[in-house]
Structure 1
Amino acid sequence: MARTVPAVNRALDILELFLAEGALTASDITARLGLPRTTVHELVNTLLDRGYLVAEPSAPIRYQLGMRLFELGGLFADRLDLARQAQQAATEVAAACDESVHVAILDGAEVVYIAKVDSTHSVRMVSAVGRRLPAHCTAVGKMLLSALAPEALDACYPHDRPLRSMTPNSITTPAGLRTQLAEIRQAGVAYDDCESNEAVACVAVGVFDHTGRMVAAMSVSVPTVRWTDQRREQWTGLVRTGAAALSHRLGHHAGPAPFATTGGATAQGSLSQHSTRGS
Structure 2
Amino acid sequence: MNQSVIKALGLLDLFTEEEPELSLKEVTERVQLPKPTVYRLLTSLEYCGFLTKTMDSEYDKRYKLGLKLMELGQLVSEQLELRKVALPYMKKLANEINEVVHLVIVNHDEAVYIEKVESTHAVRLYTRIGKRSPLYLGSGPKLLLAFLPDKKRKEILDTATIRPLYKNQIINEIEEIKRNEFAISYGEQDEGTTGISFPIYDYHRKVIAALAVSGPSYRFEGAHLEMIKETTKKSAKEISSEMGYR
Give the TM-score, by structure 1 length: 0.57
CA apart distance, 1:126? 3.2
Question: What is the correspondence of 1:170-249 to structure 2 with a 5 Å cutoff?
Answer: 173-249=166-242
CA shift in 2, pair 1:79/1:237, >3 Å: closer
Q: One-letter code of the match for 2:129?
A: V
Structure 1 residue runs of 5 or longer lacking an equivalent are 1-73, 165-170, 254-279
Aligned to 2:94: 94
Q: One-letter code of the match for 1:247?
A: S
Cα deviation 1:29-81 (Å, max 9, x = unaligned): xxxxxxxxxxxxxxxxxxxxxxxxxxxxxxxxxxxxxxxxxxxxx9xx86971
CA apart distance, 1:149? 1.7
CA apart distance, 1:225? 2.9
CA shift in 2, pair 1:110/1:80, >3 Å: closer
Aligned to 2:146: 146
Cα deviation 1:79-108 (Å, max 9, x = unaligned): 971122222221111011111111100123
Question: What is the correspondence of 1:4-153 to structure 2 with a 5 Å cutoff?
Answer: 81-153=81-153
Task: Give, in whole Å, the separation in 2 of the partners of 1:87 and 1:126.
Answer: 19
Task: Give, in whole Å, the separation in 2 of the partners of 1:217 and 1:113.
Answer: 9
CA contact (8 A) 2:186 2:192 kept: no
CA RMSD of aligned residues (A): 2.2
CA apart distance, 1:174? 2.2
Partner of 1:105, secondary structure, is: strand
Partner of 1:156, secondary structure, is: helix
Q: One-letter code of the match for 2:91?
A: T
The higher-RCO structure (CA 8 Å, 6+ apart) is 1
Q: One-letter code of the match for 1:237?
A: E
CA shift in 2, pair 1:78/1:101, >3 Å: closer
Structure 2 residue runs of 5 or longer lacking an equivalent are 1-73
Task: Give, in whole Å, the separation in 1 of the partners of 2:92 and 2:162.
Answer: 35
Task: Give, in whole Å, the separation in 2 of the partners of 1:84 and 1:227.
Answer: 28
Q: One-letter code of the match for 1:146?
A: A
CA shift in 2, pair 1:151/1:100, >3 Å: same
Higher share in helix: 2
CA contact (8 A) 2:143 2:199 kept: yes
CA apart distance, 1:199? 2.3
Instruction: Give percent identity, aligned residues only.
Output: 25
CA shift in 2, pair 1:120/1:172, >3 Å: farther
Task: Give, in whole Å, the separation in 2 of the partners of 1:148 and 1:109.
Answer: 11
CA apart distance, 1:177? 1.1
Aligned to 2:162: 163
CA contact (8 A) 2:219 2:225 kept: no
Task: Give, in whole Å, the separation in 2 of the partners of 1:82 and 1:120.
Answer: 25
CA contact (8 A) 1:162 1:173 kept: no
Aligned to 1:49: none
